[in-house]
Chains A and B, each alone.
Chain A
Amino acid sequence: MLKRLFRALPGPLPVRLLVAVVIVAALLVALVVVFEALGRFLDDGGVMG
Chain B
Amino acid sequence: MFLDFFYKLRSLNAPVSTREYLDLLNVLDSYSKKNETISPERFYQIARSILIKDVKYYDAYDLAFSECFSGLVSDDDFKSKLNDWLQNALEKELSEERKANAMNLPSEELMKELQKRIDEQKERHDGGNKWIGTGGTSAFGHSGFNPNGIRVGGEGINKSALAVAGRREFKDYRTDEILNIRQIKVALKKLRSLKESGRKELNIEKSIKATCNNAGEIEIIETKSRKNNLKLVLLMDIGGSMTPHSNRVSQLFSAAHQTNHFKEFKHYYFHNIFYDDLYHHANLHPDEITDFQKLKSIHNSDTRFIIVGDAYMAPYELFQMTGSMREFYYSFIKDNKKSNLTGMDRVEVLKKLYAKTVWLNPEPKKLWSAPTIKAIKEVIPMFELSIDGLSEAIKELI
Bound together = no
The residues of B with any CB-CB pair to A shorter than 8 Å are none
The residues of A with any CB-CB pair to B shorter than 8 Å are none
